[in-house]
Amino acid sequence: MPELPDLQVFSKNLVKTFVGKTLKTVSVRNKKKLKVSVSKLKRSLEGQKLLDIRRVGKELHFEFSGGEILGLHLMLRGKLVKFEVENNAKYTIVELLFADDTGLAMTDFQGQANATLNPEPRDAPDAMSREMNLAFLKDQLSKSKAIVKNVLLDQHIIRGIGNAYADEILWDARISPFSVSNKIPEFGVKALLRSIKRVLQKAEKSILKNHPNIISGEVRDFMLVHNPKTESSPTGAPIQVKSAGSRKTYYTREQKLFK
């Protein structure tokens, strides 16, 4: 559910509540997606101090004093819930209980949200990182015949952009989501890069301002085109919708189609 800007704000808010605390117990209520044994997870993390929480792509990384990292991925419907002493949330996947009896649970009624111990570092740069620059984007687009929206969404190429923000970014850059990646000229790639950074940065600021303590859910009321309640873009063009499965692409004729 949440996308990069939401997760970025969650990580900041979680830092305020939990960093510096010592983990008393980690409990796994649903181990379908857990790739290590529960005993190894407990051995690695329990008794360790939480040093930092960072967003990496669409994951949240909890860094502990022993050097181990717990990665949480909320997938489509995962939620984070704070609790005291006892976690009564339904559909809990994992729960962290700290020494002061405050805790954090990750829940998901679909059972898709997952936890990883020491997630593998990936080559693909985070959308907000310095490595995500013009040279990189140009290179990636030049070697792909896929439509540009699919490149933005491909977590093996760029980490962190989801369906809704991909539409917002492409509208901001005035590039059609159906443009063929290797046909986009340099000025288009530049615009796209600027829009990636601008749209994500603006969204993060807005979420932080309007939902200063949020650690769950998603905020998308400010979205300009990826928004079923809106009929036209700020510049007056009717918004078109194309469905692919259950996911939708929102766009307008203002966006240039390179093919």
Partner DNA sequence: AGAAATGTTGCGCT
Partner DNA sequence: AAGCGCAACATTTC
Residues binding DNA (CB under 7 A): 1, 3, 57-58, 73, 75-77, 90-91, 109-112, 144-147, 150, 153, 155, 162-164, 218, 220, 226, 228, 244-248
Q: How far is the CB of 18 from DNA (least distance, A)?
A: 23
Residue 91 vs 258, nearer CB to DNA: 91
Residue 90 vs 209, nearer CB to DNA: 90
Distance CA 24, CA 26 (A): 7
Residue 24 vs 197, nearer CB to DNA: 197
The DSSP line for 207-247 is HHHH-TT--SS---TT-SSS-TT--B-TTSPBPEEEEETTE
Distance CA 230, CA 234 (A): 10
Query: Whose structure tokens read 């190894």?
Result: 40
Residue 48 vs 252, nearer CB to DNA: 252
List, in sequence order, the alpha helices (H) in the chain.
4-18, 38-45, 134-142, 148-153, 163-173, 186-210
Residue 51 vs 83, nearer CB to DNA: 83
Q: How far is the CB of 179 from DNA (least distance, A)?
A: 10
Q: How far is the CB of 229 from DNA (least distance, A)?
A: 9
Residue 40 vs 247, nearer CB to DNA: 247
Q: How far is the CB of 26 from DNA (least distance, A)?
A: 22
Distance CA 209, CA 124 (A): 30
Nearest alpha carbon to residue 161 among 128, 191, 112, 194: 128
Q: Decide: 70 and 62 in contact? Cβ < 8 Å.
A: yes
Count other Cβ atoms within 10 Å, centred on residue 250: 24
Query: Whose structure tokens read 């559910």?
Result: 1
CA angle 19, 70, 1 (to 5 degrees): 90
Q: How far is the CB of 181 from DNA (least distance, A)?
A: 7
Residue 55 vs 220, nearer CB to DNA: 220
Q: How far is the CB of 216 from DNA (least distance, A)?
A: 10
Q: How far is the CB of 118 from DNA (least distance, A)?
A: 16
**How many residues can be counted in the chain?**
259
